[in-house]
Amino acid sequence: MSKARLSKLPVKEHDHIQGPIDAPCALVEYGDYQCPYCGDAHEIVKEVQERLGDKLCFAFRNFPLVDIHEHAEHAAEAAESAAAQGRFWEMHALLFENQNALDDDDLAGYAAELGLDPKRIMAEVESGAHAARIKKDLISGEQNEVNGTPTFFVNGKFFEGEPNVEDLVAALTENTE
């Protein structure tokens, strides 16, 4: 079995990306939908995106911490199932906005809310239809020494410290303006 190798920068052929792939600033997040710190980071990323606009390419990679978050893997599967139907970012936002309600019934409800087929979403979640993609993200994170969530890479470099809007914007724009 070959190991998945993803760079610390967004990868057009694999990542879920917002913003132009060739933007001067690149932000990669390894996250877990059930992690409360990732929920906080979701709001921070939205503000960073608002401030930088088309100067930022943001990529999200799944890193479900299944040992401590019982719903993280199914939430990641639901996001990937929504992605297969062209609705990743909408599901991504709903999952973070509803972190305290991520059991299978909740996931089916979010699918319905987005106009997706809840039975299809849940069949894919239950079967692990997107497990290989999630595993690729996990392996990539492990290769990039990710050991918790959220973990950010700014312009290809590990971001140290507590993520906040000011520090992320400063790190992203350093040497790019």
CA distances from 76 to 1, 47, 103, 128 (A): 23, 23, 12, 10
Classified as helix, coil or strand, 22 is coil
Question: First CA to last CA across the chain, in angstroms?
Answer: 42
Asked whether residue 135 is domain-assigned, the answer is yes
Asked whether residue 10 is domain-assigned, the answer is no
- Mode of pairing for the β-strands spanning 157-158 and 151-154: antiparallel
Asked whether residue 132 is domain-assigned, the answer is yes
Say which CATH number the domain at 137 has: 3.40.30.10
Q: How confident is the model at residue 26 (pLDDT cuts 50, 70, 90)?
A: very high
What confidence score (pLDDT) does residue 2 get? Answer: 43
Output the CA torsion 82→47→14→33 (10° steps).
-50
Count of structural domains, the chain: 1
What mean pLDDT value characterizes the chain? Answer: 95
Q: How confident is the model at residue 161 (pLDDT cuts 50, 70, 90)?
A: confident
Asked whether residue 87 is domain-assigned, the answer is yes
What confidence score (pLDDT) does residue 177 get? Answer: 58
> Domain range holding 26?
16-173
- Flag whether pLDDT at 138 surpasses 50: yes
**Strand ranges (E), 44-164:** 56-62, 151-154, 157-158
Asked whether residue 7 is domain-assigned, the answer is no
Contact 69, 31 (CB under 8 A): no
- Global pTM value: 0.94
